[in-house]
Structure 1
Amino acid sequence: MNPTSHLAPTPDLWIDIAVDAGGWSEALPDFDKRCRVAITAAVAAGAEVEDEDEAQWEISVLLTNDAAVQVMNKNWRAQDKPTNVLSFAAPPSDDLPDGAPMLLGDIVLAFETLVQEAQEQGKPLADHFSHLMVHGMLHLLGFDHESEAQAQEMEPLEVSILAGLGISSPYEDKD
């Protein structure tokens, strides 16, 4: 059974992917497809769609480097260091033109941190990339892991989504 088969319909997704640092195409030639598959799976599993006939969402993805992510992390989270993924939820808007997708927000990944973590954890870079896409998308959908209760909701959902993509649990050491 598909772990997401019992969930609500998926809205139409507009996924804009920008690359502004080197390394992504060489390390992950299929990053575009992996990004879209991971985000779509996360939305299918974690979204609450009120009006499935009108649901259109836009997500922006930026694949960049540690230096750019460090600046964003410092400016928005007061942490002067790079991190693997950042998610910036867009404020809700009731003022959209007819047919325009609702912007959910932005997901930003740091190349060097992603590569280093995959190597240190002994996992394929593609799997770690997909995990961070799912993780970032779940943040845009309102999930968090700041408290133990939040983590107990978000992490099993991540594991379920990743299993549906054929990817092992990123929390095996934690279990």
Structure 2
Amino acid sequence: MQLDVLIEDERWDTAGLEAIAEAAAVAVAGVLALDAEDWEVSLMGCDDTRIAALNTEFRSKPTPTNVLSWPSEERAADTPGGTPDLPEADLPGMPVELGDIAIAWDTCAREAQEAGKPFEAHVTHLVVHGILHLLGYDHINDADAALMEGLEVRILAKLGLPDPYSS
């Protein structure tokens, strides 16, 4: 698996974003039975100012958010709650570019603190969430949300982390 990590906010280096993302990506691949070596993800660790600018530019929402993703192509299922078309490598040794993810330190830290969750666990969940978006999963409707959230719970359990949706 190729994981290209760009750190724009040094706090992400201290938190070990690259190691968190690698573990999350391997777990996603394992649960979905994908060969991790066949795909590539770009991840940017930034702050609220940067992610607010991206959220404004791409979603017309001038506020910070925790994570954003930009799939390289549309992979969504044709029917609500259906499994997306998962990527397959075209050429040996040439990974499929799934897309880009940006994650904001300030929002992640605030959310983790407010929820009483360890920062690393919350960030891991958000990286898993972002990768699933790149793979075509979404939470636009109840059926899609149930599928995506169920996968997140299974993937996080594989990493020894609790269900982020339980209260």
8 Å Cα contact 1:19-1:63 kept in structure 2 = yes
Distance 1:159 1:66, change over 3 A: same
**Following TM superposition, by how much is the alpha carbon of 1:33 offset from its aligned partner in structure 2, in angstroms?**
1.4
Q: What does 1:85-164 correspond to in 2, within 5 Å?
A: 85-91=67-73, 99-164=93-158
Which of residues 54, 59, 73 in structure 2 aligns to 1:77?
A: 59
Larger Rg: 1
Q: Which amino acid aligns with 2:155?
A: I
Question: Normalization by structure 1: what TM-score?
Answer: 0.80
Question: Normalization by structure 2: what TM-score?
Answer: 0.84
Residues 25-79 of structure 1 deviation map (CA, whole Å, 9 limit, x = unaligned): 23x1x322111010111122236x5xx6xx7211101001111111111111111
Q: Which amino acid aligns with 1:82?
A: P
Q: CA RMSD, aligned part only? A: 2.1
**Following TM superposition, by how much is the alpha carbon of 1:97 offset from its aligned partner in structure 2, in angstroms?**
7.4
2: CA distance between counterparts of 1:72 and 1:97? 32
Which of residues 36, 42, 49 in structure 2 aligns to 1:60?
A: 42
In structure 1, the residue matched to 2:82 is: none
Misfit runs of 4+, over 3 Å:
96-99
Residues 68-93 of structure 1 deviation map (CA, whole Å, 9 limit, x = unaligned): 1111111111111111011100137x
In structure 1, the residue matched to 2:2 is: 14
Unaligned runs of 5+ in 1: 1-12
Unaligned runs of 5+ in 2: 75-89
8 Å Cα contact 1:43-1:138 kept in structure 2 = no
1: CA distance between counterparts of 2:136 and 2:65? 20
Percent identical among aligned pairs is 39
> Is 1:41 aligned to residue 27 of structure 2?
yes
**How many residue pairs were aligned?**
153
